[in-house]
Chains A and B, each alone.
Chain A
Amino acid sequence: MSIAFTLCLLAIVALSLLGLPIGHAMITGSVLYLWVKGIDLGIAAEQLLNGMYSSYLLLAIPLFILAAEFMNSGSIMDRLLRFCNALVGRWRGGLAHVNVVQSIIFAGMSGSALADAASSGKVMQSLMTRDGKYTPAFAAALTAVSSVIGPIIPPSIPMVLYALISDTSIAYLFLGGVIPGLLLGGVQMGLIAAAAKKRNFPVEAAVPLRELPRVTWEAFPALMMPVILFGLLYSGVTTPTEAAAAAAAYSLLVSAILYRSVSWGNVYKSLLGSARITISIGMLIAGALVFNYVVTVENVPKTVAAMFKAYELSPFTFMLLANIILLILGCFLEGTTILLVIVPVMLPTAAALGIDLVHFGVVVVVNIMIGLVTPPYGLLLFMMVKIGDVSLTELVKEVLPFLWVMLGALALMTLIPEIVLFLPKLFGYKG
């Protein structure tokens, strides 16, 4: 590691701690590296521009965001909630189960946990806390942890990023996320069921079963979205990016024609909202492109791989270590940054140890998503503190039991690759 690289790292860490936006911190630190090394400073521009211009796969990100925004602008959330309520509302702790099931279904349309929490958070919070049914802290905690499922069940923005850095198939990654996502939802609902008696959670008025077909029919076009996405992806008809565009077009059509709930004003709002998120994530990608040039010049991934090799790690120890490192980092760092900066350094080692990169990718994404609800730094926690108007301490206290069971689920999918790889293999993944 050269002095220039040490300076570069120090600068990025220091500038981030000082509060500079992370994308800018990465570019600034990398420019410092070029300067100290006496390399042409125009390389920063070259790396950023060529990287952005040639990464066609990344275009799936704004399109998935747009699809979710279009879906959201209509009355779809209400219909989905009625559907979920008809399904699981009759159980003890009904609304809590509804919250999880809603997240699972919404996960099939949206690739972002933060978007899920932002869109359903307010509605769920007021439904769950009305008449003192649940405490605000519990409701907020549940929305936070159930939103984690969003990017694990496809579509998934972090998986698109992982596909980019690891050169794995986005279609197989998406398939690999399905069972882990359902598993996470399952353990959350298990925990709710276990707590329901003890905490005397209320039961909702049961929706008569004969109502179920109508409620399902109303939500049907929204429920079809993941099916369409999968159809396009796995028939190999379109590229993943085009499938994302088709998903956006579908959700616009559904909202506009079937649900008649979209106005020009709403379309503009969806476009601008998606544009803002795209810009934010785009700047992180831009910063990472420049910084990853520095990392490559310094040969960091190879050095790390050689270091791990010297320790003669078994694949299992490596996976365990990777999980621990990512979880600790997730407590302090923003997830996209971890994915774009730290994970590329781990990849050559994982590949050298013969770890399946689709399996590794899904485990990494689950890990990073869990990082969104680990204190002290968890974006979902911060968001729910605001939306639910609860204190961080109260919220964390309610999140912790969920965190433990989710970590248990993460351990399971780390130990048993088949949980991740079963579906991809069913669809022809050779591994």
Chain B
Amino acid sequence: MSWLQAGAWLRRRAENVAAGLLAAMFLAFVIQIVFRYGFNFPVGWASELTVATWLWLVLFGSAFVLSEKEEIRFDLIYSAVGPRVRIGMAIASALALVVLYGASLKASFDYVSFMKVEKASYLKIRMDWMYSIYVIFLVAIIARYAWLLSRLLRGRDPEVGDVTKVSSGL
């Protein structure tokens, strides 16, 4: 299996996780509604689970599922300029992101690990575990942009977004 195939395989597994998280959120809601209105028996864990899946879905998905093409960006200028200018623009923005996300990594890790003093009220999960996805997200995004940066510096034209694939839900 080549690196490319391995990457595609991993991406599909990441998609499985994202779809699974949304399915879990949906099912938790259905359970919550059935128990509360059907049996007059509120289930707190279900509503906590829905919020947890939402947080994880967004951060996990942003790190591992969304491709460069699907990101919501202001690409009026980005897609209109020639490849050389675009590479320059992408280098500048990727550099800024890597530096500033990198600078916030230690402090973010500290905040997340400090949250071990709290626990989710129903699920009994320690909040540092709950919030750990943010650190994973930061590391993954930094790695991704560092990788993009190395490609850009070798003169590879970055991908331009595909508008039919972009949706901000509006």
A61 interface residue per 8 A CB criterion: yes
B3 interface residue per 8 A CB criterion: no
Binds B, one of A86-94, A193-201, A282-290: A282-290
CB-CB under 8 A from B26, the residues of chain A are 63, 66, 245, 248-249
Q: Mark A7-24, 1 if CB is under 8 A from B, else 0.
A: 000010001111111111
User: With A52-B54, A279-B58 as given contacts, are A271 and B23 in contact (CB-CB < 8 Å)?
Assistant: yes
Smallest CB separation, B20 vs chain A (Å): 8
A280 interface residue per 8 A CB criterion: yes
User: With A19-B75, A41-B107, A386-B163 as given contacts, are A52 and B55 in contact (CB-CB < 8 Å)?
Assistant: yes
A158 to B169, CA, bound (A): 8
CB-CB under 8 A from B62, the residues of chain A are 23, 279, 282-283, 286
B33 in contact with A376 (CB, 8 Å) = no
CB-CB under 8 A from B163, the residues of chain A are 379, 382-383, 385-386
CB-CB under 8 A from B37, the residues of chain A are 237-238
A42 in contact with B51 (CB, 8 Å) = no
CB-CB under 8 A from A15, the residues of chain B are 93, 96-97
Q: Which A100-140 residues have C-beta < 8 A from chain B?
A: 111-115, 118
* Closest residue on chain B to residue A150 by CB atoms: B170
Smallest CB separation, A278 vs chain B (Å): 6
* Closest residue on chain B to residue A277 by CB atoms: B167
Q: Which of B61, B70, B112 contacts A278 (CB 8 A)?
A: B61
Q: Mark B79-91, 1 if CB is under 8 A from A, else 0.
A: 0000000100110
A28 to B108, CA, bound (A): 13
A241 to B46, CA, bound (A): 13
Smallest CB separation, B47 vs chain A (Å): 7
A19 in contact with B77 (CB, 8 Å) = yes
Q: Which of B23, B47, B59, B96 contacts A11 (CB 8 A)?
A: B96
A56 in contact with B169 (CB, 8 Å) = no
* Closest residue on chain A to residue B164 by CB atoms: A386
A56 in contact with B47 (CB, 8 Å) = yes
Interface range on chain A (Cβ under 8 Å from partner): 35 or more
Smallest CB separation, A41 vs chain B (Å): 4
Q: Which of B77, B78, B164 contacts A118 (CB 8 A)?
A: B164
A333 to B74, CA, bound (A): 7
Smallest CB separation, A44 vs chain B (Å): 6
CB-CB under 8 A from A212, the residues of chain B are none
Q: Which A328-348 residues have C-beta < 8 A from chain B?
A: 332-336
B74 in contact with A44 (CB, 8 Å) = no
A286 to B26, CA, bound (A): 21
* Closest residue on chain A to residue B71 by CB atoms: A21
B66 in contact with A279 (CB, 8 Å) = yes
A376 in contact with B164 (CB, 8 Å) = no
Q: Mark B44-77, 1 if CB is under 8 A from A, else 0.
A: 0001001110110111011001100011111111
CB-CB under 8 A from A387, the residues of chain B are 164
Smallest CB separation, B60 vs chain A (Å): 8
B149 interface residue per 8 A CB criterion: no
The size of the chain B interface, using a CB distance under 8 A, is 65
Q: Is the interface of A mostly helix, strand, loop or mixed?
A: helix
A42 in contact with B111 (CB, 8 Å) = yes
Smallest CB separation, A273 vs chain B (Å): 9
CB-CB under 8 A from B92, the residues of chain A are 18
Smallest CB separation, A192 vs chain B (Å): 24
Smallest CB separation, B87 vs chain A (Å): 11
Q: Which of A32, A286, A382 contacts B100 (CB 8 A)?
A: A32
A245 in contact with B23 (CB, 8 Å) = no
User: With A114-B169, A115-B167 as given contacts, are A19 and B103 in contact (CB-CB < 8 Å)?
Assistant: no
B121 interface residue per 8 A CB criterion: no
CB-CB under 8 A from A278, the residues of chain B are 22, 54, 57-58, 61, 169
Smallest CB separation, B43 vs chain A (Å): 12
Q: Which of B50, B89, B97, B164 contacts A28 (CB 8 A)?
A: B97
CB-CB under 8 A from B21, the residues of chain A are 275
* Closest residue on chain A to residue B77 by CB atoms: A17
A-B contact pairs, 22 of them (CB 8 A): A16-B74, A17-B77, A18-B89, A18-B93, A27-B101, A32-B100, A41-B106, A45-B108, A46-B111, A58-B54, A114-B168, A157-B169, A271-B23, A278-B58, A279-B66, A280-B167, A281-B168, A283-B58, A283-B71, A334-B168, A379-B168, A383-B164
Which 6 pairs from chain A and chain B are nearest by CB? Answer: A282-B58, A19-B78, A279-B61, A245-B29, A42-B111, A42-B107
New A-B contacts (7) at CB < 8 Å, excluding given A19-B89, A115-B167, A242-B29: A28-B101, A45-B108, A53-B55, A276-B18, A372-B170, A377-B74, A385-B163
Chain B residues within CB distance 8 Å of chain A: 15, 18-19, 21-23, 25-26, 29-30, 32-33, 37, 47, 50-52, 54-55, 57-59, 61-62, 65-66, 70-78, 86, 89-90, 92-94, 96-97, 100-101, 103-104, 106-108, 110-112, 130-131, 134, 141, 158, 163-164, 166-170
